[in-house]
Amino acid sequence: MKKIYFHVLFMYLGMFGAYAQTSPIAAKSDSSSYQSRKLKIDEVNLVSAYYNQNGNNSAVTGGIGTEKLSDFANTIDLQMSRFNKHGKKNTFLFELGIDHYTSASSDKIDPSTISSASSADTRIYPSLNWTHSNEQTGNSFGFTGSYSTEFDYQSLGAAFNLTRLSKDKNTQFDFKLQAFLDQWTVILPVELRTGNTGRGGEQYDTAPRNSFSTSFSLSQVINKNFQAALIIEPSYQHGLLATKYQRDYFTDGSLRAETLPDKRYKLPIALRMNYFLGDRFVIRSFYRYYMDNWGIRAHTAELEIPVKVNSFFSISPFYRYNNQTGTRYFAAYGQHDPSAQYFTSDYDLSTLNSDFYGIGIRLSPPKGVLGWQRLNMLEIRYGHYSRSTGLASNIVSLNLKFK
């Protein structure tokens, strides 16, 4: 079941890799060195994160009530590679994620039960990527397949990625095409159900939701200290886009399940800039403008300043600000017009401001963490999220890299 924590969690964990680049886009490889044609393990990454939130605008109960939720997320990815007889590199990346959450608001779908199936859930999402690359030119292409499942939905995903570098390696173009074919279980609030839907005998319909997105990224090394990237990510969704177990209350006292258009177009445009202040400081900045056909407009700005204390220890404070103009379909509890065609009381889609700030600590000693040569990196991050609607959350994560 999709909740605000997925957005914050993915945004937060994405910081592990989003700004990893601390040198020119690509380095020239030594073509004279021997490249093994045996499949070998390059690295293993383990990421664990704990997230909790609280607020008083649950969409399940029409925009009022507890938003208390906790989530424990774990991912492991295994990267392996081998060179073919032509000297081209084939990289295989397998990732397995498992999230488990408990949600007080989801348990209000049927408040008469002691604990409904939706009060807690586990999401499992494996994926496999294959990338074929030329180490001398830096060019590559690849494919990804993914699957995700939890109590009320299953998703099949496929993606294609392409990277092209200029001859001087200072300009890089990245393209990605993704498709997700989802199947939702249509769960209604208990008071809106008909037929045999008693506890232990629920019979639900299903509905599709398909998502298609592209990503265009152009990165440029301006000089030895300054890098910039322009990113455009248009996407399209079609199918059941409303969350049917979320209630909406109207000015005449009536109650209906959330109803939203079955098509959605999104267009985020972002600019990322990294500036290197000597050997110890990096200024990483990010700005994104977002718009969609539901009327949502948003501005997001982020600043992260990693400080290299010594050759193997760094700290990275960060701050992100978001300003959002909500969809035209949103109204608070009991404020919807009975004649409205589409309606939601989900505060994720409302007008709001939010702040997200925290700090990361990274340790990568040359002899390995705690003297363990294979464990070459440890990173701990903490973030606090708050928004003008009253929602607040905290997240702490641990990333271990083995080579």
Q: Which residue has the tokens 């969690």?
A: 9
| Sign, CA torsion 25/141/78/360 | positive
pLDDT interval class at 72 (50, 70, 90):
very high
| Position with higher pLDDT, 239 vs 193 | 239
User: Phi, psi at residue 349, to the nearest 5°?
Assistant: -105, 10
Question: Residue 102's pLDDT is what?
Answer: 87
User: Where is average pLDDT lowest: 260-269, 306-315, 333-342?
Assistant: 306-315
Quickly state the pLDDT bin for 123 (edges 50, 70, 90): very high
| Higher-scoring residue by pLDDT: 330, 224 | 330
**Structural contact between residues 119 and 80, judged by C-beta atoms closer than 8 angstroms:** no
pLDDT over 90 percentage in the chain: 73
- State the pLDDT at residue 128: 98
Q: Is residue 281 over pLDDT 80?
A: yes
Comparing CA positions, the residue from 192, 341, 337, 342 lying closest to residue 251 is 337
pLDDT of residue 369: 85
| 48-52, 190-194, 211-215: range with lowest mean pLDDT | 190-194
Per-residue model confidence (pLDDT) at position 15? 52
What is the model's pLDDT at position 182?
A: 97
State mean pLDDT over 11-15.
Answer: 53
Give domain limits for the chain.
4-16+41-402
Q: Identify the residue with better confidence: 189 or 397.
A: 397
State yes or no: pLDDT of 303 exceeds 70: yes
pLDDT band at 14 (very low <50, low <70, confident <90, very high): low
Band (pLDDT 50/70/90 cuts) for residue 379 is: very high
* 134-190 per-position pLDDT tens digit: 999 999 999 999 999 998 889 999 999 999 999 999 999 999 999 999 999 998 988
CATH class of 4-16+41-402: mainly beta
Q: Does pLDDT of 19 surpass 70? A: no
Dihedral class, residue 200 (left if φ above 0, else alpha if ψ from -120 to 50, else beta) = left
User: Per residue, what are the HEC states of the chain?
Assistant: CCCHHHHHHHHHHCHHHHCCCCCCCCCCCCCCCCCCCCCEEEEEEEEEEEEEEECCECCCCCCCECCCEEEEEEEEEEEEEEECCCCCEEEEEEEEEEEEEEECCHHHHCCCCCCCHHHEEEEEEEEEEEEEECCCCCCEEEEEEEEEEECCEEEEEEEEEEEEECCCCCEEEEEEEEEEEEEEEECCCHHHCCCCCCCCCCCCEEEEEEEEEEEEEEEEEEECCEEEEEEECCEEEEECCCCCCCEEEECCCCEEECECCCEEEEEEEEEEEEEEECCCEEEEEEEEEEEECCCCEEEEEEEECCEEEECCEEEEEEEEEEEEECCCCECCCCCECCCCCCEECCHHHCCEEEEEEEEEEEECCCCCECCECCEEEEEEEEEEEEECCCCEEEEEEEEEEEC
In this predicted structure, what is the pLDDT of residue 180? 98
Mean residue pLDDT across the chain: 88
pLDDT of residue 278: 84
Task: Provide the token pair at 148.
Answer: 């995700």
The single-letter code of the amino acid at 11 is: M
The residue-averaged pLDDT of 383-398 equals 97
What pLDDT sits at residue 403? Answer: 86
pLDDT reported for residue 370: 81
Whether the pLDDT of residue 255 is over 60: the answer is yes
Whole-angstrom CA distances from 185 to 98, 113, 122, 209, 336 are 20, 19, 15, 11, 26
- How does pLDDT run across 188-202, given as a tens digit for each residue? 988 888 865 444 455
